[in-house]
Amino acid sequence: MDQLTQLVDSLTADDLLAIEREVKDYALAKGIAFKLANSPPDTVSLAPLTLFPSPFPRKHFDFGHRLQPLVNAVSHKIAYDHGFLADSLAKTVQVDDFTAKMFDVYTQVRREGMAQTTSLGLFRADYMLDERPDGGGGYDLKQVEVNNISTSFCGLAPAVRDVHRHVLAKYGASADIGDLDKRLPINRSTELMAAGLIKAYDYYNRSSAVILVVVEQVVVNIFDQRAIEFTVSRSRPDIRLIRRTFAQLRDAVRLGNNRELIVDNKHEVAVVYYRTAYAPQDYAGDQDWDVRLLMERSRAVKCPSIQYHLTGCKKIQQIVSNRQVVEKFVADRRDVDDLMQVFAGLWGLESGPDGDQAIDMALGEPNRFVLKPQREGGGYNYFGGQLARKLDEIRHTKERESYILMELIRPPKVPNHILAPNKSLAANSFRPSNITCEFGVFGTVMGNADEIILNSEAGHLIRSKTYGTNEGGVAAGFGALDSPYLY
């Protein structure tokens, strides 16, 4: 770690000017790019990334990977425990329209009887290092959230590692930064997540069927999605993948006699892989919810199924942070200990004394907390003064029950440079920034009420942002792709 910090600090403006251009070109050549909404269709722009990998403790890196099968299993078991799911979300569905719509789809599918009882999950659990309150300079790993739908960047993360390996091999030699293949762990995220799709495809067991990738109208993060598709194709050229938007699907989907999902009257769908459908604005209206419902009613394997998707609600995350609840889903006591160790403080804001107490606590020290709605993906959360204003605004309404309160994590600052498209490091006078890292672990899980067929960690992701900025969505322009330098 120290050697890397020294390297970052030792580079001159001249060095950095050349390295910046080289790393940007390397990244562009590797498809670390976005397709911007207002650009011509065959023109792409650099995705923000850090110039160097960021130091990350090997102990916590390994722990996150070891934990992932447990994280997968808990989501899976909740998704197949109807009573728990319904009870947990009972109040949320009254106040959060999006969760209510999802729950309604779930209810209708259940009432009819599930044509496909097996679900596929390509999940990602996000963590940060959190400074221990004892002042000893130590850090714990704390879970920020678990994403159960449209988890992004598993297709780009391995390429970021390659870029960083190149830059350290070429410019870090004099800095004695150690054995790069040990410091920069191989990341198999693309391959392992693709393997999840293939597993579900084979489970469906119809050689003429396709994988349907449901996508947004304008796909900024296209190369991440394509990397997974191309990886599926490389190992299984027999599997056809088709991409469709909700708008394209509206008049093009129907159910067959055995509730097969049929697209364009010719493609039977084995797997529905959602790369949209996670936010209210992804649905143009009821007609798109009708499409979602039809797909969920079908015998195609959904990634994720509506019940997997529901387990990603913040409300579930908050309820599960309780030890008694974890014990309900996890048998081994050491596993329970491991999970409890990564949960940050989480509080529901239900009407009543407990919720009132949580709100008072947050208003007393608003900088210690974050207020989160039920969405996945960044950009919706309230911090500090905004949190206080929002709590004041909602404390006497039912709306407060649609939020959860979470203890803010205090990650270490590390020096690095963030490369932003069409902006030179010269704009920051070539000074390193203090950045903070978010560490994601991908996971694949497939199963039904009777058994878990697949349960594995599936690689990792580091995204970083300038210290002091609260949101870190890379595609949203808040953060940068990064990779770990283990120490």
Q: Is residue 15 involved in binding a second copy (CB under 8 A)?
A: no
Give the DSSP H or E segment for 484.
strand 484-486
Examine the residue annotation and report whether 240 is marked as an active-site residue of this protein. Answer: no
Number of Cβ within 10 Å of residue 385's Cβ equals 10
Q: Is residue 8 involved in binding a second copy (CB under 8 A)?
A: no
Examine the residue annotation and report whether 101 is marked as an active-site residue of this protein. Answer: no
- From CA 406, how far away is CA 408, in angstroms rounded? 6
Q: How far is CA 200 from CA 64, 196, 227, in A?
A: 25, 6, 18
Beta-bridge mates of residue 128: 142
Contact 71, 125 (CB under 8 A): yes
Structure tokens given for 110: 């259940």
- From CA 463, how far away is CA 476, in angstroms rounded? 12
Q: Is residue 410 involved in binding a second copy (CB under 8 A)?
A: no
Q: Is residue 426 involved in binding a second copy (CB under 8 A)?
A: no
Binding flags for a second copy, 183-222, as an x/- string (CB under 8 A): ---------------------------------------x
Examine the residue annotation and report whether 235 is marked as an active-site residue of this protein. Answer: no
Q: Is residue 31 involved in binding a second copy (CB under 8 A)?
A: yes
Q: Is residue 179 involved in binding a second copy (CB under 8 A)?
A: no
- From CA 33, how far away is CA 428, in angstroms rounded? 22
Q: Look at residue 355 and give its three-state secondary structure.
A: helix
Q: Is residue 477 involved in binding a second copy (CB under 8 A)?
A: no
Q: Is residue 29 involved in binding a second copy (CB under 8 A)?
A: yes
Q: What is the DSSP letter of 343?
A: B
Measured from the CB of residue 172, what is the shortest distance to a second copy in angstroms? 9
Interacting residue with a second copy among 242, 325, 340, 453 (CB under 8 A): 242
Closest by CA to 194, choosing from 159, 226, 162, 163, is: 226
Q: How far is CA 443 from CA 67, 128, 148, 322, 412, in A?
A: 10, 17, 10, 22, 25
Examine the residue annotation and report whether 314 is marked as an active-site residue of this protein. Answer: yes
Q: Is residue 323 involved in binding a second copy (CB under 8 A)?
A: no
Q: Look at residue 241 and give its three-state secondary structure.
A: strand
Q: What is the DSSP letter of 366?
A: G
Interacting residue with a second copy among 82, 199, 226, 395 (CB under 8 A): 226
Measured from the CB of residue 202, what is the shortest distance to a second copy in angstroms? 17
Interacting residue with a second copy among 41, 133, 135, 353 (CB under 8 A): 41
Question: Between residues 36 and 90, which has the closer beta carbon with respect to a second copy?
Answer: 36
User: Which of 24, 64, 145, 440 does the annotation list as catalytic?
Assistant: 145
Query: Taking contact as CB under 8 A, which single stretch among the options 41-49, 373-381, 440-448, 472-480 is the one that binds a second copy?
Result: 41-49
Q: Is residue 24 involved in binding a second copy (CB under 8 A)?
A: yes
Peptide bond into 133 cis (omega under 30): no
Number of Cβ within 10 Å of residue 423's Cβ equals 12
Q: Is residue 37 involved in binding a second copy (CB under 8 A)?
A: no
Interacting residue with a second copy among 422, 427, 429, 451 (CB under 8 A): 422
- From CA 326, how far away is CA 76, in angstroms rounded? 13
Interacting residue with a second copy among 230, 289, 383, 430 (CB under 8 A): 230
Tokens 């391995």 correspond to: 158
Examine the residue annotation and report whether 377 is marked as an active-site residue of this protein. Answer: yes
Tokens 């979470």 correspond to: 406
Size of the site for a second copy (CB under 8 A): 37
Question: Between residues 33 and 409, which has the closer beta carbon with respect to a second copy?
Answer: 33
Interacting residue with a second copy among 176, 238, 332, 450 (CB under 8 A): 238
Examine the residue annotation and report whether 315 is marked as an active-site residue of this protein. Answer: no
Measured from the CB of residue 44, what is the shortest distance to a second copy in angstroms? 6
Contact 64, 70 (CB under 8 A): no
Interacting residue with a second copy among 30, 58, 368, 395 (CB under 8 A): 30
Examine the residue annotation and report whether 124 is marked as an active-site residue of this protein. Answer: yes
Examine the residue annotation and report whether 147 is marked as an active-site residue of this protein. Answer: yes
User: Which of 31, 178, 345, 377 does the annotation list as catalytic?
Assistant: 377
Interacting residue with a second copy among 91, 101, 166, 250 (CB under 8 A): 166
Contact 8, 432 (CB under 8 A): yes
Query: Taking contact as CB under 8 A, which single stretch among the options 17-25, 339-347, 350-358, 389-397 is the one that binds a second copy?
Result: 17-25
Cβ-based burial of 82 (10 A; exposed 0-12, middle 13-18, buried ≥19): middle
CA 21, distance to chain mean position in Å, is 29
Contact 292, 277 (CB under 8 A): yes
Q: Which residues are catalytic?
A: 124, 145, 147, 152, 314, 372, 376-377, 463
Residues near a second copy (CB under 8 A) are 18, 22, 24-26, 28-31, 33, 39-46, 166, 169-170, 173, 222-223, 226-227, 229-230, 233-234, 237-238, 240, 242-243, 421-422
